[in-house]
Amino acid sequence: MNILAIETSCDETAAAVVKDGREILSTVISSSQELHTKTGGIIPENAARQQVNSIIPVIQKALTGAFGKDAKENIDALAVTYGPGLIGSLLVGVETAKTLSYLWEKPLIPVNHLVSHIYANWLLKGKNPAFPALALVVSGGHTDLVFMKDHGDIKWIGGTRDDAAGEAFDKTARVLGLPYPGGPAISEKAKEFRSQNQSEKLDMFPRPLLNSKDFDFSFSGLKTSVLNRVKKEKLSQEKVEKYAAEIEEAIADVLVSKTLKAVEKFKPKSLLISGGVSANRRLRKMFESETGKQKLKVDLFIPPAELCTDNAAMIGTTAFYNKKEVDWKDLSANPALRIQDKNV
């Protein structure tokens, strides 16, 4: 089954053709990130305008990339992100997918963007994750821990009480004078620091809720903490690198230790890490070494970096495993959709 998948929830316009939920026949991503670096963050109106410009060429490229010219004959269904995200951006993908579904008379499968991040782990070569699975989703706007008994059976067990992990990277990067998106920028500076200070203990910033009994996170205090420190002193290149490493360590520390506490409690067969922040080198390393160290009987899955950040292949694979078709007339974008909401 070949699914043409469309993703436009934020500042990426993406389309992909995915075969049987596992094989990426083509994947195309056009990002308006450069535009947002200029404004120091996303202005939703700008992102939506770029979506309009990019959507048709991106879909065309994905189709020809997969099959050549007579592509639509080879497509069995359409999939599209319908939330959460920026309403102007979401609408572009949703309305395009509805139009194609009507014109081509093909089934339309709506996909929850947050759930789809988890499904990037079904695109890894080799084995599929086994159920039950525990999944951490760490993206720009969301931080959620969920327990999955099966496809479509998702129970929310914890999440952030304030800022998302990605938001914490983006906001603290700003305080340090680093460009948007903050995650990769902080990661680069942190790498510089770590290459010269391998043994230094990194515990300058607080780890809120680290020992709480629930599976909640809180990242809003980190920005204030960084701000207070930066206010007191002149920022040199060395200090930016040191603080970047401290920020990265604080965020990774909380994410890893609370996720592993949930593994101990729920005893899943698979641990699935996903979302833009899981592209972070330090976080990946920490998950790998800690799951090994604690001898937890859990299979760890983390997608390659290009499948952690927004893409349409993950939308196609989610649609394959959760085939909840809707009539095109019944689909609307839902910017406030949550990971635990019923539809996929």
> Site for ligand KG4 (CB under 6 A): how many residues?
19
CB contact set of 167 (below 8 Å; sequence gap of 6+):
140, 141, 219
One-letter amino acid of 267: K
Smallest gap from Cβ 258 to ligand KG4, in A, equals 17
CB nearer to ligand KG4: give 21 or 181.
181
Neighbouring CB atoms inside 10 A of 131's CB total: 14
How far is CA 337 from each of CA 81, 169, 225, 334, rounded to the nearest angstrom? 11, 23, 31, 6
Q: Which stretch binds Zn ion (CB under 5 A): 68-76, 138-146, 210-218, 223-231?
A: 138-146
Question: Does the footprint of ligand KG4 cover residue 13 (CB under 6 A)?
Answer: no
Q: Is 311 in the site for Zn ion (CB under 5 A)?
A: no
Q: x/- contact string, 114-153, with ligand KG4 (CB under 6 A)? A: -------------------------xxx------------
233 CB burial (10 A radius; 0-12, 13-18, 19+): exposed
Choice between 6 and 66, CB closer to ligand KG4: 6
What are the contacts of 39-45 at 24+ separation with CB within 8 A? 40/174, 40/179, 40/180, 41/170, 41/174, 41/180, 42/10, 42/11, 42/86, 42/180, 44/86, 44/87, 44/88, 44/89, 45/88
Based on the shown chain and the rule CB under 5 A, indicate whether residue 96 belongs to the binding site for Zn ion: no
Helix (H, G, I), strand (E, B) or coil at 258: helix
With binding defined as CB under 6 A, does residue 183 bind ligand KG4? yes
**φ, ψ for residue 180 (rounded to 5)?**
-80, 140
Decide if residue 83 touches ligand KG4 (CB under 6 A).
no
CA 232 – CA 175 distance, rounded (Å): 13
Please report how close the Cβ of residue 89 comes to ligand KG4 at its closest, in angstroms. 11
Closest to ligand KG4 by CB, 97 or 168: 168
Give the one residue of 5, 135, 271, 279 binding ligand KG4; rule: CB under 6 A.
279
The DSSP bridge partners found for residue 159 are: 144
**318 is a contact residue toward ligand KG4 (CB under 6 A):** no
Output the six-digit token pair for 311. 């893409």
The interface partner of residue 158, options being Zn ion, ligand KG4, none and the CB cut-off 5 to 8 Å by kind, is none
Q: For ligand KG4, which is the closer residue by CB, 50 or 101?
A: 50
Is 139 one of the binding residues for Zn ion (CB under 5 A)? yes
Nearer to ligand KG4, 63 or 300 (CB): 300
How many Å separate Cα 323 from the centre of its chain? 21
Query: What is d(CA 342, CA 15) in angstroms, rounded to the nearest whole number?
Result: 24
Nearer to ligand KG4, 106 or 171 (CB): 171
Q: Let me know if 49 is exposed, middle or buried by CB neighbors in 10 A (0-12, 13-18, 19+).
A: middle
Residue 144 found at the interface with Zn ion (CB under 5 A): no
Binding stretches for Zn ion (CB under 5 A): 139, 310
| Residues that bind ligand KG4 in the complex, under the rule CB under 6 A | 10, 139-141, 166, 169-170, 181-184, 187, 275-277, 279-280, 309-310
